[in-house]
Amino acid sequence: MKKQQASGYTTADGRKIGGPVMEMENITLRFGGVTAIQDISFDILEGEIRAIIGPNGAGKSSMLNVINGFYHPQDGRILYKGVERKPLKPYEIAHQGIARTFQNIALFKGMSTLDNIMTGRLTHMKSSMVSQALWWGAAEKEEVENREKVEKIIDFLEIQTIRKTPVGRLPYGLQKRVELGRALAAEPSLLLLDEPMAGMNVEEKEDMSRFILDVNDEFATTIALIEHDMGVVMDIADRVVVMDYGKKIGDGTPNEVRNNQAVIDAYLGVTHE
Amino acid sequence: MVTMVSSVKGNLDTIPKLVAQHINTKPDQPAYREKEFGIWQSWSWAEAGKEIENLSHGLLGLGIGVGEHVAIIGRNRPHLYWAMLAAQEIRAVPVPVYQDSVAEEIAYVLDHCEASFVFAENQEQVDKVLDVQESLPKLKGIIFLDPRGMRKYSKDGLFDYRAVQKNGENASAKIKKERHKRLTEQSAGDSCAMLYTSGTTGRPKGVVLSHNNVIKTSQASCDFDNLNSKDSVLAYLPMAWVGDFIFSIGQATWSGFCVCCPENTETMQHDLKEIGPSYFFAPPRYFEGLLTDVMIRMEDAGYFQNTLFKYFMGHAQKVGSLILDGKPVSTIDKLKYQLGRFFIYGPLLNTLGMTNIRVGYTAGEAIGPEIFNFYRSLGVNLKQLYGQTEASVFITQQPDGQVHADTVGVPSPGVELRIGENGEVFYRSPGVFVEYFKNTKSTNETKDSDGWVATGDAGFLEPESGHLRIIDRAKDVGKMKNGSLFAPKFVENKLKFYPNILEAVLFGAGKDKCVAFINIDLQAVGNWAERNNIAYSSYQELSGHPKVYGMIKEHINEVNNSLSKDKMLSGCQIARFLILHKELDADDGELTRTRKVRRRVIEDKFRELINALYDGKKEIFTKTEVAYEDGSKGSISATLKLEDAVIHDVNVSEGNAA
């Protein structure tokens, strides 16, 4: 595959895209005898919205798990912020500055929206467990600071109405928004979204697209997302990687990808003339 | 008392002077609160004063001239109230615009008032103005409050609110001198604001109110209810509506009470509970909705709670209003009421956010007697007033202790009232508007040379009590074919008192019988459907359900029965009706932005349905165009059933006996 432009450019709407945050070089991931990802290389540039698309079973979610360090590939090299990544322990994964949302919502159903988003601040809290339990000294100050950050996110996502509502009672679209809020609360340098629009109606999709664009625009957050809805992807992504059966079959701007014959074949099947 | 206050504040004849006085006398007292980031933020008079001053300097820096109009579009936020006050400080005239207006409506107002600058709350409002900018040659710039999403916009003519304030903070001596000069030159006769009438008929008209209008009215109404700087109000009704202007700017700057703004439109009920204002206004529809909500929730409560609730509510119905009015009640009843307050009324009022309400008003439409009495029996001093934009709100209002569900009270202090020959109500007061902007013809039609203003409403003064009773819009009151009186709103209100009926429109002027369109209340009927296992997927499906028709028919028969006992209005009984397949909507032009029925529009739009009702058809297929929130158009079609109702013979004596 042709190597992508390695460093920054400016998008049509005037956003500055920087150098690579994440570089994947010849990644291969196997589960026993199954090869989930085969020899894939691509990069994610600072400040861009990078989409990974592909039919069911193409290996998208595995790819996302490789990006956030949950899986370590058998072959290939991953450079995160220019440093080659070694296999990580779970707490190291949490601390590296990559936040994500899940295909199946993974919130604490019995907790309020506010508390759920507060859990996203966990890696930023430094006071000891004793101090937190006693609500004394640094813990109080820390909670106030973190609550302020969380309230800004609640304001940003326009979910003030459900601040105190247990998330289990919320409709699906709102739960997705809360999950995005929790990921944002971690102030990630890279945000991974696993099918953020799955199961949403048109209006919810529009809302979510707007929030993704706003997050990228306002906080200059780099975003990598997996999505099934081609229309949405083509609208919001700067560059798109297309996967099929664990292989990369396309990479480029939405327009380039749309006109790529291999991509069309993978999605629509090959026509017989 | 009144004269004393007046003499002390004698030279305070403009809003900026009132603001300055509060800054001097109570700099640390809260003037504005707003819930943001989950906390109530507050600004003292001194802080608010600084914000306003900086903003007014900034506006001068943008070159806004004397008498220029500055439009404000957004929800109730302290910053937007400051925008109005800052505009007034430099003798510009604020023009608040309904924030849920679609782009064309905004275009009309901005074009008509020739606004030079627009304050827009956020990207959504900026987009609307940008959409129509080309048709507005006088528009020089847009000042936006919330910078979110605005980074990609070209900078020409777009100004950040805070940047304008920042410029104002570092204003040159020349600009400061200019502001001072304008403040000194300002007089009571200057325009204080221009407010557009909602326009039940035709295009909205720009009502010009002077500082004198606003201050005199605010003074009189504050004295009437003894409103003072210790009160607080929740500002949640549209800023473009005259009521909000008088409450949150006029009365607030006169008495110095605190204006609290909710976090956003949806959190209003929650914020109301947290703030617990002492002065509260809401349209009847709000009180209706809240009561429906309470009743639905109580049906879900357990047997014990429900029994307790019913028992004490029954007692409150019996003595609550009497206790509120200070009428004699037996000691046992008083004790029982206290008990009820402890178990039911107190907690309920707290949940509704009405614990501290000392003065509550409702107006705009008739309110159902049961609804009105429900709140009063709980101890909420809910009263009615009758007002208009052209009167700076107050025409009549109910004094404490003289409250009735079917009247709108006695003339407000300083207001003279007269009933015309055709039954139309006329008034004259210090609050009477200066003129309709650029519309001398309408001004002269509405206001005569002696200053009497025609309200357009028909009504009469009750001989015993001296209270005004409004029947209907004067021009809507008509005659039926046989010469009997046709008063559609009177009948519609009777229908709307049923929780299942959200809206009703009656037709019949010049005809031999009346027919009606009904809109069901989706919340109430939906809840009923849920309880009775009636499946439905949409408003349209539920509204066409035979059982729903049956229920509505029962309501109509009851209304007919009660009408048959009224000598004047027995001709208005409803012969046939249909339930509309869509909710009447302001976006489709069927309601005004204040949700009043636009009779003529509906009549034209649904002409074929009305004809079918008169032709005696059993059903009709219809297709209606609807506008969606984003401005796109679509259509919905349905086959509607047309039903007959029972008409009762006029029998006044039997009615009285029953």
- Render pLDDT for B79-126 as a digit per residue (tens, 0 to 9): 999 999 999 999 999 999 998 888 888 999 999 999 999 999 999 899
Residue range B587-645, pLDDT digits in tens = 888 888 777 888 889 999 999 999 999 998 888 898 888 877 677 788 888 888 888 88
Taking residues B266-286, report their average pLDDT. 92
- Choose from B37, B41, B265, B268 for mutation: most chain A CBs within 10 A: B37
Check if B634 contacts A (Cβ < 8 Å). no
A155·B37 Cβ contact <8 A = yes
Flag if A151 and B263 touch (Cβ within 8 Å). Answer: no
B387: β partners: B394
Q: Is B151 on the interface with A (CB under 8 A)?
A: yes
Q: What's the gap in Å between the CA of A65 and the closest CA on chain B?
A: 31
Q: How confident is the model at residue B654, as a pLDDT?
A: 40
| pLDDT for the residue numbered B200 | 58
Q: The complex's ipTM?
A: 0.75
- Least Cα separation, residue B39 to chain A (angstroms): 9
Domain B478-657 matching CATH 2.40.10.410: the answer reads no
Joined tokens for residue B324: 């509120």
The pairing of strands B485-486 and B501-507 is unpaired
Distance CA B154, CA B16 (A): 34
Instruction: Note the pLDDT of residue A7.
Output: 63
Q: In chain B, which residues have their Cβ closer than 8 Å to the Cβ of A211?
A: none
* Ranges A128-132, B1-5, B151-155, B385-389: which has the least confidence: B1-5
Q: Are B152 and A148 an interchain contact pair (Cβ–Cβ within 8 Å)?
A: no
Burial state string for A183-198 with b = 16 or more CB within 10 A and e = fewer than 16: bbbbbbbbbbbbbbbb
Least confident range from B106-115, B140-149, B457-466, B606-615: namely B457-466
Q: Which of A161, A163, A210 to mutate to test the interface with B (most CBs of B within 10 A)?
A: A161
User: Closest chain B residue to A114 measured between Cα atoms?
Assistant: B38
Q: How many A-B residue pairs are in contact by the CB < 8 A criterion?
A: 33
Task: Indicate the pLDDT class of residue A218, thresholds 50, 70 and 90.
Answer: confident
Is there a contact between A217 and B266 if contact means CB atoms under 8 Å apart? Answer: no
SS3 content of chain A, % helix, strand, coil (to 5): 40, 25, 35
Distance from CA of A160 to the nearest CA of B (A): 7
Nearest to B38 among A13, A154, A156 (CB): A154
Of B38, B151, B152, the CB nearest to A163: B38
Å between A151 CA and nearest CA of chain B: 5
B263 and chain A in contact, CB less than 8 A: yes
Give residue B495's identity as a one-letter amino acid code. L
End-to-end CA distance of chain A: 29
pLDDT band at A3 (very low <50, low <70, confident <90, very high): very low
Task: Select from A14, A151, A217 the Cβ nearest to the Cβ of B37.
Answer: A151
Mean pLDDT is highest, among A56-60, A78-82, B190-194, B485-489, for: B190-194
**How many CB atoms sit inside 10 A of residue A172's CB?**
13
Q: Is B528 within 8 Å of B500 (Cβ atoms)?
A: yes
Report the chain B residue with the minimal C-alpha distance to residue A150: B37
Chain A within 8 Å of B39 (Cβ-Cβ)? Answer: yes
CATH class of segment(s) A1-97+188-273? alpha beta
DSSP letter for B116, please: S
Within a 10 A sphere around the Cβ of B310, how many other Cβ atoms? 12
Across B493-502, average pLDDT: 87
**Interface contact A13-B149, CB threshold 8 A:** no
For chain A, domain boundaries = 1-97+188-273, 108-185
Chain A residues in contact with B270 by the CB 8 A cut-off are: 161
Average pLDDT over residues A200-205: 86
Q: How many angstroms separate the CA of residue B458 from the nearest CA in chain A?
A: 42
Residues A108-113 have a mean pLDDT of: 93
Spell out the domain ranges in chain B.
12-281, 287-356, 478-657
- The tokens 């327009």 sit on which residue? A255
Report the pLDDT averaged over residues A222-226. 93
Say if residues B233 and B33 touch (Cβ distance below 8 Å): no
* Residues 1-40 in A contacting B (C-alpha not used; CB under 8 Å): 13-14
Minimal CA separation from A113 to chain B, in Å = 13
B441: contact with A, CB 8 A cutoff: no
By C-alpha distance, the chain A residue nearest B147 is A218
Q: Which CATH architecture has domain B12-281?
A: 3-Layer(aba) Sandwich (3.40)
Q: Is A160 on the interface with B (CB under 8 A)?
A: yes
Q: Which single residue is written with the structure tokens 């595959």? A: A1
By mean pLDDT, which of A154-158, A226-230, B320-324, B581-585 is the weakest?
A226-230
Predicted confidence at residue B2, as pLDDT, reads 38
Other C-beta atoms within 10 Å of A14: how many? 8
Nearest CA of chain B to the CA of A252: how many Å? Answer: 24
Cβ atoms B398, B407 nearer than 8 A: yes
Alpha carbons B312 and B346: distance in angstroms, whole number: 12
Residues whose CB falls within 8 Å of the CB of residue B416, separated by 6 or more in sequence, listed in order = B427, B428, B429
Question: What confidence tier does B651 reach under pLDDT thresholds 50, 70, 90?
Answer: low
Residues ≥6 apart with Cβ < 8 Å to B325? B400, B401, B403
Which of chain B's residues have a Cβ under 8 Å away from the Cβ of A151?
37-39
Cβ neighbours for A94, distance < 8 A, ≥ 6 positions apart: A122, A123
Pick the residue from chain B with its C-alpha nearest to A216. Answer: B149
Which range (B60-64, B403-407, B454-458, B524-528) has the least confidence?
B403-407
Nearest to A151 among B38, B264, B266 (CB): B38
Answer whether B148 touches A (CB < 8 Å).
yes
User: What was the pLDDT predicted at B8?
Assistant: 42
Give the end-to-end CA distance of chain B in Å, rounded to a whole number. Answer: 49
